[in-house]
Amino acid sequence: MSHIVVIGAGQAGASLVAKLRNSGFDGDITLIGAEPAPPYQRPPLSKAYLLGEMELERLYLRPESFYSDNNITLRLNTHVDAIDASAREVVIGDERISYDQLALTTGSVPRRLPAAIGGTLEGVHVVRTLEDVDQMATEIEKDRRVLIIGGGYIGLEAAAVAAKKGLNVTLVEMADRILQRVAAPETSDYFRALHHAHGVDIREGVGLDRLTGEGRVTGAVLSDGSTLDVDFAVIGVGIAPDTGLAEAAGLEIENGIKTDAHGRTSDSAIWAAGDCASFPYRGTRIRLESVPNAIDQAEIVARNMMGENVDYIAKPWFWSDQYDVKLQIAGLNAGYDNVVARPGEHDGSMSFWYYQGDTLLAVDAMNDPRAYMIGKRLIEAGKSADKTVISDPSADLKPLLK
Ligand SMILES: Cc1cc2nc3c(=O)[nH]c(=O)nc-3n(C[C@H](O)[C@H](O)[C@H](O)COP(=O)(O)OP(=O)(O)OC[C@H]3O[C@@H](n4cnc5c(N)ncnc54)[C@H](O)[C@@H]3O)c2cc1C
């Protein structure tokens, strides 16, 4: 009987095994994960869960019984040490498990700060796993001082939670502006103003020189020479795809584990999906770090493992929650050269439309689900949108879809 092994029991791994079963795969399935918890959703870790507004069980993607009910062997707390691709075996300590097909859904690892600048002091947190966030949550108490390093979505979401909980929050961003890597200056301005209104001290164009303290972090020296007293620190300086196993097994790596449009790696028996995988997209190769990508790509891989031949056509979308603002992003803005602003119907609702020339690439919508939905449908249909219509808040957007 055929045996499919999946390494990485996160969003993509869980979606992949569920899709295999509900598409009728009746061979053996083993899902192996290094973390102790059954597969769970990460987005609430820096939002509702960290705020204490979401219970642990609600994080789980499926109840643990789902796996046994569907005859899926779920091995938690189990780190795969190596893949022996020529023998078609995965190696866990002294144990070897053979596979007919293997999927890698190993996700990504947060970048940490070097020990030489205080990265390993107690009280310095990253935000990736449930364990990371449970540890960090014990630090969140009114009036404490937190330094957040990095003004990307994770850093800003952590800042929003801390500010809502009454902490004194300082956020440093080495680049000229927060969200520089992912958004236009207009979106950065919107979120800077939002955080200022909640008392967050945002310092842009200022890096961290070092964290200081004996054993535990108590302070920070910034690149402009200023110093801060700090009770704890949160590092949100990006992630790297977890490609270690794949690399050691001799698979091709190119900004993540390199896959073809079907999700197959350079070894025909091995597939990859989610944060760890790069794939062809509109003539280039990209890697996405998002839940929708992890689910959609994993489901395509599951179908292809069962013998279909379907291409993964990514339809990128993302979201972020900060205070009472829901940001929804459709499309990818890479290559934009102009941005059109559209005020929404309600106070504080706004959308920014990214164009390359007259071609619509992406939309950032703040508390404007309608602008997001229409933008998403236009982008996915390869349609553009007349800028004079977009910039006129009284103009109805729906006719653009025709
Ligand atoms: C705090 C936070 C907030 C986020 N917010 C959003 C959001 O608002 N919207 C959004 O779209 N996305 C968000 N994301 C990103 C999203 O969660 C990820 O893109 C998604 O989880 C990727 O799924 P994955 O299965 O590829 O990786 P993961 O969910 O990270 O799962 C990978 C798993 O593989 C395991 N693993 C790795 N190597 C091994 C090994 N050798 N042996 C065994 N197991 C191994 C890891 O331990 C991990 O559990 C957020 C992420 C974080 C951390």
For atom 38 of ligand 1, the residue with the nearest CA is: 106
Give, for ligand 1, the residue of 30, 42, 237, 271 to mutate: max count of ligand atoms closer than 8 Å to Cβ. 42
Phi, psi (degrees; rounded to nearest 5) at 254: -150, 100
- Ligand 1 pocket check for 243: Cβ under 6 Å: no
- Ligand 1 pocket check for 38: Cβ under 6 Å: no
Residue ranges of the chain with pLDDT lower than 50?
none
- Ligand 1 pocket check for 18: Cβ under 6 Å: no
- Ligand 1 pocket check for 319: Cβ under 6 Å: yes
- Ligand 1 pocket check for 32: Cβ under 6 Å: yes
For atom 47 of ligand 1, the residue with the nearest CA is: 34
Closest residue by Cα to residue 85 from 202, 237, 247, 278: 247
For atom 27 of ligand 1, the residue with the nearest CA is: 107
Length of the chain in residues, anyone? 402
Give, for ligand 1, the residue of 79, 153, 291 to mutate: max count of ligand atoms closer than 8 Å to Cβ. 291
- Ligand 1 pocket check for 126: Cβ under 6 Å: no
Q: What is the pLDDT of residue 383?
A: 92
CA of 163 to the centre of ligand 1 (A): 25
| Alpha carbons 249 and 177: distance in angstroms, whole number | 40
CA of 196 to the centre of ligand 1 (A): 30
CA of 268 to the centre of ligand 1 (A): 24
Give, for ligand 1, the residue of 106, 237, 301 to mutate: max count of ligand atoms closer than 8 Å to Cβ. 106
| Alpha carbons 78 and 32: distance in angstroms, whole number | 6
For atom 11 of ligand 1, the residue with the nearest CA is: 290
Closest residue by Cα to residue 273 from 292, 259, 252, 255: 259
CA of 401 to the centre of ligand 1 (A): 34
Q: What is the pLDDT of residue 402?
A: 85
Give, for ligand 1, the residue of 290, 295, 317, 320 to mutate: max count of ligand atoms closer than 8 Å to Cβ. 290
Q: Report the chain's mean pLDDT, rounded to a whole number.
A: 97
Phi, psi (degrees; rounded to nearest 5) at 295: -70, -55
- Ligand 1 pocket check for 256: Cβ under 6 Å: no
CA of 35 to the centre of ligand 1 (A): 11
For atom 23 of ligand 1, the residue with the nearest CA is: 11
Q: Classify 237 as helix, strand or coil.
A: coil
Q: What is the pLDDT of residue 346?
A: 87
Q: What is the pLDDT of residue 347?
A: 85
Contacts of 282 (CB under 8 A, 6+ apart): none
- Ligand 1 pocket check for 107: Cβ under 6 Å: yes
Judge whether 362 and 330 are in contact, CB under 8 Å: yes
Which atom of ligand 1 is found nearest the CA of 32? 43
Q: Classify 190 as helix, strand or coil.
A: helix
Q: Classify 94 as helix, strand or coil.
A: coil
- Cα distances from 93 to residues 36, 49, 80, 101, 198, in angstroms, run 17, 34, 8, 21, 50
Q: Classify 224 as helix, strand or coil.
A: coil
CA of 36 to the centre of ligand 1 (A): 14
Q: What is the pLDDT of residue 1?
A: 61
